[in-house]
Amino acid sequence: MKKILWFFVALLGAACFCYLALQNGEKVSAIYLVVSAVCIYMIGYRLYGRFIAFKVFGLDKDRATPARVENDGQNFVPTNKIVLFSHQFAAIAGAGPLVGPVLAAQMGYLPSMIWILVGGVLAGSVHDFLVLFISMRRKGRSLGEMIKDEMGSFTGGVAMLAIFGIMIIIIAILAMVVVKSLANSPWGLFTIAMTIPIAIFMGIYMRFIRPGRVGEASVIGFVLLLLSIHYGHYVSIDPTLAKFFTFDQPTLAFMIMGYGLISSLLPVWFFLAPRDYLATFLKMGVIVVMALAILFVAPDFLMPKINHQYLDGTGPVFAGSIFPFLFITIACGAISGFHALISSGTSPKMLDNEEHALFVGYGAMLAESGVAIMALICACILHPGIYFAVNSSSALIGTDLAQVAKTISEWGFTVTPQEIAQLTKDIGEHSILSRTGGAPTFALGVTLILHQIFGGVEFMGFWYHFAILFEALFILTAVDAGTRTSKFMIQDILGNIYKPLGNIHNIWAGLLATIISVSCWGYFLYQGAIDPNGGIYTLWPLFGVSNQMLAGMALLLISAILAKMSKKRYLWVTLAPATFVLIATLYGGIQKVLPYEEGAKVHNAVSHIATAQMNKKSIEKLEEEIAAIKSQKENLSKEEQIKFEKQIKDKEKQISNLSHSLFGNVLDAILCIFFMLTTLLVIVSCIGICIGKIKIPLKESPYIKLNSLNAEKA
C-alpha cells in the first residue's frame, strides 16, 4: 500500500510539473506549482534523503553526538529535534530565498521553477545535510577547520581566510536588509523587539519551569507573537510610543551590531534556539497559509513561461545571461554556501541524536526551497508591467508614472499609470516604483492573495506591511546565528596563532572573537547606512558568486571525505551537484573579471573590471570638463560664474560617486579572483585525494556509544 501511495504521489507531481513545462499560450494556475513542489519534496525526503542518510553515510542512532559528549550548557546543548529544525531553518532562511527568485522571475517562471525544485532536492538539501553530518562526526568543527584537517594545512589555511571573508559579506548584507526594512518603522521595530523577551521566556520555560514541554512553550510564544504584531500597529499610530521605536538607518545599524554581539554570547538554550523556534512559527505559518490560500484563490501566472527577450542577459532587473547568472541569482532557494557555515557552526553542537541530522539538515533546506517557490509565485502572479515597475531602477524607467508606463509598455508589457497608482493607493504606500531588492514584490504577492480571503481591498495595506515585517523577522534570525558561527570561525583562525584563543569553552576568547566578527561586518553595515554608494553596497555584487563558490567547496570537502571512507562508488551523490555548481559559478566569476569590450553591453554590465574601466574614463572626462569650465570663469559675469560654480559642484559630486563605484568594483574583482583561486585549490586537493595521490588520514572523532556515555554520567 505504501508503494502504491508513493507511486501516486510521484505521478501527481510529474503530471503537474509536465503541465507547467509543456503548456503553451494558456493561462496556468499557481496551484500546479504548489502541488508539484509538495510532491517532489515528499519524494526527495522520503527516498533520496533517506538513501543518502542510511545507505551512503550510515547514520547511527547509538553513536553519541558532540552535544551529548561535551554538553557545556553554552554552545553544546542537546536540543529537541523540532526546536533544532526551527533553529536551522530560521538561521539559513535569510534574504536569499525571498529575493533571488523574485529577481530571476524576469526570465519567466519555468527556468527558476526547475532549478529551485531540482537544485533544492539534489544539491541544496544534500549539501546542508552532509555538512551537518561531517561536522557532527568531528566535534562540531567549522567548515574551514575541517578543510584544513581533511585536505591539508595550506589548502585549509587559504580556505579559512576566504570563508571568513565570504561570511562577513553575507552577514553585512543580511543586516543591511533588516536596517532598510525597520528604518523609521515603529510597527516593525516594536514587533521585532518583542520577540527578544518572548524568546528568553520560552527558553527559561522549556529548561526550568516545564522541562521538555516544547508544545506548551510553542503555544504561549505563538500567542505572544501574534499579540506583539497586533499591538505594534497601535504603537505606530501613537505619537508618544512611536518615538521610542523610530530610528534612522545609522542608529539601527549600531543597534543591530549590539544585538549580534550580545546574542552570540548568550547560551544557545537561553535565546538563540527559542527565538529561532519562535521565528519559524511565523515563517512556516505564513508559508503554509500562503500555500493553502493559493489552493483556494487559484491565482494565474501572469508572467510568461519564458521571457525569451531577456535570456541573453539584457533584462532590466539584473544583467547576465540565463547561464550562469539565473542559477547564481536564485542562490539560497536552491543551494547556498552560507548554509554550510550554519551546518558546521551552531547546529552540529546541538544535535541530540545522529538520526535527527536528516530531518534538521535535509528537511530545513527543503522548507527553504518551499519559501523560494512561494517567492517565485508572488512575483509571477503580478501583472508583468507592475513587476517591472517595482523591480527596475529609476535610471531605466524614470519617476513619472506616465513615463514609467510608456517605457514598460514599449518593452511589451502593457500597463497604465492608473493601474500603478491604484495598487500604490490600495497598499497604503506613497510609491512602488523602483522598489528593488525583491522584498516589496514578495509583499505585493502575499497581499494580492491573502486579501481575497481575509479582509478584502480595505485590508491590503495591512497585509502588505505584515509581509514586510515578516521578511525583516525572517532575515534577522540569520544575523544572530551567522555572528555566532563567525565567532567559531575566528577562534579556529586565532587558535592557529595562539592555541588558548581557539578554545570555544573559554568566555574571554569567545568575547574577543565576537568583537572582531561584529567589528568586521558592522563596519560595512554602518558605511552602507551612511552612504548609499559605500560600505556593504561595495561588496553586494560579489555576494552571489562568492556564496555559490563556498557551496562548491563544501561539496568537494564531503567528496574527499567520502573517498577516504572507502565509498567511492557513491561519489556521484556529491560530485554531480558540485560539478554543476562550480562550472556555473567559475564561469560567472570569470565573466566578472574580464576587461572592457567595446559594444558588449551585457558583458560590460556584468564585469567588475569593465565597470571600473568605464568609471575611470567617466571620471577623466568629468575632470576635463571641470578644467574647461574653470578656464572660462575669469571673464564671465557674476551670474554666469554662479551658474558655472553649480555645474562644477554637480560634476564633482558625480566624480565622488564614480570614485566609490571604481573602488568597489576593483575590490570586488580582487576578492572574486581570490575566491576563484581558493576554489581551484580545493578542487585540486579533492581530485588528489579521490585518486589516491594525496594521502591524508580521515579525522573523524572516536566512536562513543551513547549508552556507555549515559552509564558514565549516571
In this prediction, residue 95 carries a pLDDT of 73
> What value does the mean pLDDT of the chain take?
90
Confidence (pLDDT) at 555: 98
3-state SS, residue 427: coil
pLDDT (0 to 100) of residue 112: 96
In degrees and rounded to multiples of 5, residue 63 shows phi and psi of -90, 130
According to DSSP, the residues that pair with 79 across neighbouring strands are: 351
**For position 207, what pLDDT does the model report?**
81
Q: Using 70 as the pLDDT threshold, list the residues of the chain that sit under it.
A: 437, 473-474, 633-636, 710-714
228-231 contacts: CB < 8 A, separation 24 or more?
228/190, 228/191, 228/194, 228/195, 228/198, 229/191, 229/466, 229/469, 231/190
Q: From its phi and psi, is residue 696 left (phi > 0), alpha (psi between -120 and 50) or beta?
A: beta
Q: What is the dotted CATH code of the domain comprising 1-183+247-393+434-593+673-691?
A: 1.20.1740
pLDDT at 539: 83
**The predicted structure's pLDDT at residue 168:** 92
**CA distances from residue 26 to 22, 235, 305, 373, 517 in whole angstroms, order as listed:** 10, 47, 10, 21, 52
CA distance 214 to 517: 32
Which residues 6+ apart lie within 8 Å of 368 measured at CB?
89, 92, 93, 97, 120, 124, 332, 333
Report d(CA 177, CA 541) in Å as an integer. 14
Residue 52's contacts (CB-CB under 8 Å, 6 or more residues apart) are 126, 129, 130, 362, 573
Distance CA 484, CA 346 (A): 7
Half-sphere exposure of residue 239, counting CA atoms within 13 Å on the CB side? 0
580-636: pLDDT as tens digits: 999 999 999 999 999 999 988 888 999 999 999 999 999 999 999 888 888 776 666
Spans of all domains in the chain = 1-183+247-393+434-593+673-691
Residue 488: per-residue pLDDT: 87
CB 453 within 8 A of CB 446: no
The number of C-alpha atoms within 13 Å of 409 and in the hemisphere containing its C-beta is 12
What is residue 227's predicted lDDT score, i.e. its pLDDT? 86
* Start-to-end C-alpha separation, the chain: 44
Retrieve residue 127's grid coordinates: 549539501
Report how far apart, in Å, the C-alpha atoms of 265 and of each of 11, 85, 270, 400, 484 are: 49, 21, 10, 49, 8
Q: SS3 of 703, please?
A: coil
Taking alpha carbons only, the member of 353, 351, 355, 332 closest to residue 343 is 351
